[in-house]
Amino acid sequence: MDRRTPLGVAVIGTGRMGTDHVRRIDRVVSGARVTAVVDLDAERAEAAAAGIDGCTAHTDAAAAMAAADVDAVLIASSGPAHEAALLTAFEHDLPVLCEKPLTPDAASALRVMEAELALGHRRVQVGFMRRYDSEYVKLKALLADGRLGRPLMLHNRHRNVAGPPFFTSAMLITDSVAHEVDATRWLLGHEISAVTVLRPRPSAAAPEGVSDPQFVVLETDGGALSDVEIFVNCGFGYQVQAEVVCERGTARIGDGHSLVTHTAGRWGGTITQDWTDRFAQAYDDEIQTWVDATRRGEVTGPSTWDGYAAAAVCEAGVRALREGGRVEVHMVEKPPLYR
C-alpha cells in the first residue's frame, strides 16, 4: 500500500485489551490509525471511537470490515467470538491480528486453519506477544546461536497478584499457561507431546475450589522438559520468568536483569556498547513527549535556562580542568519565565 496512507485498522472488542490496543494504535504506533471499532454494546463502541478522528463505531464486525477505510483487523473480543470474526475477515481477505487464544479449543482452531488454507495464503498473526518481549527475543537468539548447546529443560514461573473472580482451575491452563505453551514451542522449536499437571495444596488466597498454584510439566517431541509454576493469586507481584538449561550452560530472563547466563565458570550479562542502545527508550519518549506537547500548544521539558546553566557550569569546568583547583560558577538571575 501507499506509504503515505496510514494503515486503517478495525478493532473488534473494546474490553480492557481492545481499549488498550485502540490507544496504542492511536497514540503510540507509527503508520496506523483506528478507522473502526466494534462492540456488541453500542455505547462502549461509541465511547472507544470518541476522540479519534475518522473512526466509526459498530456493533457488527462484518459491517466494519466492509468499510472502505479498513485495511486490517485486530480481534480483541472474547475467545468464543474469535472464530466467527476470523472467518468474516477471511471473506474480505483482510490481514488479522487475533489476540490469544486463537479459539478456545482445538476443533475450532482447526476449522480456522482450514479456512485460511482454503485462502491459500497466511492472513493471521496470533497475539502471542511474548515473542516480541525484548528479553524473550534475546533468549531466543542465544538458543539459536547454539553457544550453550542443545536445550534440555526450561523452567518457567508465571505469577499474578490476583486472578479475576471468574477464574477456574482450568483457566490457569487455558488462559495463563497458554503463554508458556507458546513460549516453549517457540524457544525450543519443538512440539509438545505430553502434559502432566501437579496440584500442591491451594494457597489460602485462592478462591474456594480453585487449584492455585499448579505445577505443569510439558514434554516435547525433541526430548526436552518444560515445567511451569502458575500461581495466579501470589499476592506480591506480576512475574514472568524463564530459565533454560542447555548442555553447556543456562540462561535466565524476567528476573530484573535483562538476560543472565551461566556458562564456563562465569555468570553475568552483556553491557550495552552504545548510547543508541542504552537510551533508545529515552530518545523515543523525549521526541514523542515533545510532539504531543507541541500538538497541544505547550512547551515542556528542559528549558533555555537549563541550557544556559549547563553552559555556565561546563565553562567553569573547563577552567577548573585547565587551571586546577575549585572554580565558582556565576550565573545571571533566573528570569520568571523559567521558574
Say how far apart CA 313 and CA 329 lie, in whole Å: 6
Shortest Å, Cβ 160 to its own copies = 8
Query: Which listed range, 2-10, 35-43, 60-68, 138-146, lies at the site for its own copies (CB under 8 A)?
Result: 2-10
Q: Specify the residue, 44 or 179, whose C-beta has the smaller distance to its own copies.
A: 179
Q: Is 115 helix (H, G, I), strand (E, B) or coil?
A: helix
Q: Contact 231/200 with Cβ under 8 angstroms?
A: no
List the one residue out of 223, 269, 230, 221 whose CA is nearest residue 246.
Answer: 223
Site string for its own copies, 259-298 (x = CB under 8 A): -x-xxxxxxxxxxxxxxxxxx-xxxxxxxxxxxxxxx-x-
**339 forms part of the interface with its own copies (CB under 8 A):** no
Cell numbers 482450514 correspond to what residue? Answer: 114
Q: Contact 251/244 with Cβ under 8 angstroms?
A: yes
Shortest Å, Cβ 336 to its own copies = 9
Q: How many residues bind its own copies (CB under 8 A)?
A: 184
Q: Contact 238/161 with Cβ under 8 angstroms?
A: yes
Torsion of CA 12, 14, 17, 21, to 10 degrees: 70
Say how far apart CA 187 and CA 244 lie, in whole Å: 9
Shortest Å, Cβ 58 to its own copies = 21
Interface of this chain with its own copies, residues 109 to 138, rule: CB under 8 A? 109-110, 112-113, 116-117, 120-134, 136
Given 68, 93, 238, 333, the residue binding its own copies (CB under 8 A):
238
CA distances 10 to 17, 52, 71, Å, are 14, 13, 8
Interface of this chain with its own copies, residues 50 to 89, rule: CB under 8 A? 53-54, 71-72, 74
Interface of this chain with its own copies, residues 164 to 223, rule: CB under 8 A? 169-170, 172-174, 177-178, 181-182, 185-186, 191-201, 203-205, 211, 213-219, 222-223
